[in-house]
Amino acid sequence: MIYRVIGLMSGSSLDGLDIAFIEFEESGGKWHYDIKASGCPAYNYEWSTRLGNAYKLSAYDYLLLHAGYGKYIAEKINEFIEVHDLYHQVQLISSHGHTIFHSPEQGMTAQIGDGSVIAANTGINVVSDLRAVDIAFGGQGAPIVPIGEKLLFGEYSCFLNLGGIANISCNTSNGYVAFDVCSANKILNMLAQTVGKEYDEDGRIAYGGKVNAELLAELDKLDYYQRPHPKSLDNSFGTTTVYPIIQSYGLHVEDAMCTYVEHIADQICNSFQSILESTDNKKLLVTGGGAFNKFLTKRLQTKLLRYGVEVVIPDADLVNNKEALIMALIGILRWREEYNVLSSGTGASRDSINGAVWIGQEA
């Protein structure tokens, strides 16, 4: 079977809306993909601010934003289709939306971007709400990418996504293990913005700083890191817990950023220690915007070398589009009514089929 799908992802770093048009082929249970076109329209100041402050809204205003963001997504998809001349080629849209609330311990997760509005404004069928059923089965609703890693990247056993939040997953002898590690690009971008930069290109700012041992020790003691997996984070962990601690030290931005890079590398390394004992294949695929941070990836390579881990950073196309690619696959699996979230990674009582379906195509 051939499927031509647009996958969408909006990460916690708020850099923009990842859009990828992918052609999938499934034959005898084997999946192959070809990224035909991709883009990441950046959020302007208005949208970045609206999404960043959405957790403060009243229920009424939140729902207005839910619908408004759905219309925004549809507009960006229509522009993408026009630019790449994809008329009548897209069979399905799979939209992750943008996470505003994530409280799995209370049985709730919320990603805005109304799927019905996307479907109505594009005329294409849409799958959205990709985490909710896993939450209902008692899972963390995260990470959800292991199903795509299992079906598309079988040559690797371990995966690291360096997005707004860093998360890892590994295929071990005990099944898939996956969880969120720590805030990553979200914090680094916030620090870069204090000196007028959107982000720290190649990690140059951090490279010029020094690690503050006291700050590093305080960050490492945060309760979340002591909890067993499965576990997951929302944006507020970075913005209301981590960032204020960094600010309280009054460091030069170079030193603050250097310290936080070290913290990210340490937490990732700590997370892998016990997992790596359960896998023979120690090839680690690194994707997400943080894969372009040369200083961070160098620190990771140095620290993981002691465990015999081979850190692989793929071509830019996959680095930029892995999450949108997997969201597209999750949408296809939902359309096929097949399991698309693995409970071994989320802690749910069972694997589940996630996603609400919205029919935008005319009958």
H or E segment to which residue 82 belongs: helix 59-83
Contact between residue 315 and residue 188 where contact means Cβ atoms under 8 Å apart: no
Of 24, 17, 107, 46, nearest to 332 (Cα)?
A: 24
Of 182, 193, 149, 96, nearest to 286 (Cα)?
A: 149
For residue 278, what pLDDT is reported? 64
For residue 284, what pLDDT is reported? 92
For residue 255, what pLDDT is reported? 98
Mean pLDDT, rounded, for 145-169: 92
Is residue 351 scored above 70 in pLDDT? Answer: yes
Mean pLDDT, rounded, for 226-241: 91
- In this prediction the pTM is 0.88
For residue 361, what pLDDT is reported? 95
| CA–CA dist 38, 317 (Å, integer) | 8
Mean pLDDT, rounded, for 255-274: 94
- 84-96 pLDDT tens trace: 999 999 999 999 9
Residues 220-225: contacts with CB under 8 Å, at least 24 apart: 220/263, 220/266, 220/267, 224/182, 225/182, 225/267, 225/270
- 292-330 pLDDT tens trace: 999 999 999 999 988 888 899 999 999 999 999 999 999
Indicate the domain borders of the chain: 2-145+323-358, 154-318
The CATH class of 2-145+323-358 is alpha beta
Give 196: exposed, middle or buried? Use CB within 10 Å, 0-12, 13-18, 19+. Answer: exposed
- Same-fold call for 2-145+323-358 versus 154-318: yes
User: Beta-strand (E) ranges in 273-358?
Assistant: 283-287, 310-312, 356-358
- 190-230 pLDDT tens trace: 999 999 999 999 999 999 999 999 999 999 999 999 999 88
Fold of 154-318: Nucleotidyltransferase; domain 5 (3.30.420)
